[in-house]
Amino acid sequence: MKLGVFSLSLSVKDLDQSKRFYEKLGFSPIAGSAEQNYFIMKNESTLIGLFQAMFDGNMLTFNPGLDENAQNLEDFDDVSVIQKKLKENGIELEKTADESTNGPEHIFLKDPDGNMILIDQHR
């Protein structure tokens, strides 16, 4: 499966404070804004998402169709294809996508320890 770029999505209490903290660690914003309540931050090939009042808890995030520079990939698996493969492998989904369409769409699942995983396709 081609899951796309990986990032850690953090649910933050104070977006500006968190952004300043991660900037001190060498991260720079590549997407989002304070008005949108999120920033995607990058340090070399590492990505983190800072999200205020958008979801509870932290999660692992994959974005099919995007690379680590938020550029579109030509060759990727649509989220509906990924969903079908996960179901075939006996993975239970918390939120499913409409398999009759192609992105944008997202699905949620949990690993065996309850860690939330988001597969979020933007196009």
CA distance 87 to 52: 31
How much is the pTM? Answer: 0.91
Arithmetic mean of pLDDT over the chain: 95
- What are the backbone dihedrals phi and psi of residue 63, each rounded to the nearest 5 degrees, phi first? -120, 95
pLDDT tens-digit map of 75-102: 999 999 999 999 999 999 999 999 888 8
User: Where does the pLDDT of residue 19 fall: very low under 50, low under 70, confident under 90, or very high at 90 and above?
Assistant: very high
What is the pairing mode between strands 93-95 and 105-110?
Answer: antiparallel
DSSP H or E run through 59: strand 59-63
Q: What's the pLDDT score for residue 102?
A: 80
User: Where does the pLDDT of residue 22 fall: very low under 50, low under 70, confident under 90, or very high at 90 and above?
Assistant: very high
pLDDT tens-digit map of 31-59: 999 999 999 999 999 999 999 999 999 99
CA distances from 105 to 5, 20, 38, 58, 121 (A): 15, 31, 19, 20, 5
Task: List, in order, residues 6 or more apart from 37 with CB less than 8 Å away.
Answer: 15, 51, 52, 53, 54
Q: What's the pLDDT score for residue 112?
A: 95
